[in-house]
Amino acid sequence: MEMRSTPILQVDNLHKYFPIPRHVGDVLARRPRRSVRAVDGVSFTVQRGEILALVGESGSGKTTVGMNVLGLQQPTEGHILFDGYDVTEWSRGHGASLEAADRFLVPLSRRRRVMTLRERAQMIFQDPYESLNPRQTIFDIVAEPLDIHRLTPSRTERRERVRTALETCGLAPADHFWDRFPAELSGGQRQRVVIAGALVLEPELLVADEPVSMLDVSIRAEILNLLRALRRERGITILYTTHDLATAGFFTDRMAVMYLGRIVELGPTVEVLSQPRHPYTRALISVVPVPNPRRRRQRVILEGEIPNPIDIPPGCRFHPRCPEAIPACREMDPRLHPVAPGHDVACLRV
């Protein structure tokens, strides 16, 4: 891995707040505006060809990070650099989000730059039952990215590219599948179609948002192997989002553990799993089932639920559930700091 070249993705201090609509009563009572702090200051870097796992419980803000990386939402604060270009800068200060760029409301030059991002970075969505248009054939679904980016001059070439994409994703022979509708395929097959639709543009970055969480356990390994093969054979960079430590450990290089919109620990996957430093990471790892019963570990059962991202606790946001909290944790909001080379933790006690 060349560490010296420009990272393909740099996320710098990303914040994404969703304002909560106020009722008349709130306005009259002069209650302050509140918002859901889905992502609350996240920074990380992904090198070319790397697979980074973003791990966290439901509601920790993983999908929101992915959507902002792809410009599907406008960050409240912070920057996202794709291949060194500030994607957020295209929209900020011009009164138009990237979303608006989809709608012809911005000058052509900016739209063209947005389209470059749309071509070079692709997203795989969580739910394969929802991410395919039920009224399009598999062929049309996989060919649509080519049409949008006007990438194929001839019909034969178009067919061949769709065929290659489908067969790369294990849907061979392609002719057997491409006249069908999504409803005629199984969940695993659909997720392969989704991946084929992303691959047909030969992207450099793939944001895979819990690509296997809706699939049967037996199919998960196949899909993850496919992603791993894509990195090996094409050098595709993957941002892999999951709430499942086991699948993250299976094929990722580095791991970022998220809690309530923040990264609490970031480091090489093997190191984070074998020597977790943050109490939250340790709690997560302790409840992953271990195949060997004699190696049973001490389980850390966290008390309470993950708090609501509207009312984030003061100080360290994890302290109300933390088994190792000290009084200072209630006041000090810990920053992410290095504890070993390439291994950062946000905890006052380490």
Partner 1 sequence: MNAVKQFVRNPMGVVGAGMLLVVILIALLAPWLAPYDPQVRVQVTPDDILAPPDAEHLLGRDDAGKDVLSQLIYGARVSLIVGFTASFMSMFIGTTVGLVAGFYGGRVGNWLMRLVDFLMVIPDLPLMLVIIAVTGRGLTNIILVIGLLGWTYTARLVRSQVLSVKERQFVLRARSLGASAPRIILRHIFPQVVPLVIAQAVLDISVAILAESSLAFLGLGDPTLISWGMMLNFAFERAISRQAWWFLLPPGLAIVWVSLSLILIGNTLDQIVNPRLRTHHLFDARRMVALAVGVPPLAKADGAGE
Ligand X SMILES: Nc1ncnc2c1ncn2[C@@H]1O[C@H](COP(=O)(O)OP(=O)(O)OP(=O)(O)O)[C@@H](O)[C@H]1O
Question: Looking at 104, 109, 218, 301, which residue binds partner 1 (CB under 8 A)?
Answer: 104
CA distances from 286 to 12, 101, 246, 251, 319 (A): 31, 45, 12, 20, 18
Residue 211 binding ligand X, by CB under 6 A: no
131 binds partner 1 (CB under 8 A): yes
> Pattern of binders to partner 1 over 37-76, x per CB under 8 A?
---------------------------------x-x----
Asked if 145 interacts with partner 1 (CB under 8 A), we say yes
Nearer to ligand X, 47 or 122 (CB): 122
Q: Pick the binder of ligand X from 58, 133, 274, 275 (CB under 6 A).
A: 58
CB 54 to partner 1: min, Å: 17
* 47 near ligand X, rule: CB under 6 A: no
- Residue 119 contact, options ligand X, partner 1, Mg ion, none, Cβ 5-8 Å cut-off depending on partner type: partner 1
- Of the candidate spans 8-16, 142-150, 171-179, 249-257, the one that interacts with partner 1 by CB under 8 A turns out to be 142-150
Q: Could you tell me the smallest distance in angstroms from the CB atom of residue 179 to ligand X?
A: 33
| # binding residues, partner 1 (CB under 8 A) | 29
Smallest gap from residue 65 Cβ to partner 1 (A): 14
- Contact positions toward Mg ion, by CB under 5 A? 63
Of the pair 198, 322, the CB lying nearest partner 1 is at 198
Which positions lie near ligand X, rule CB under 6 A?
A: 18, 36, 38, 56, 58-64, 243, 309
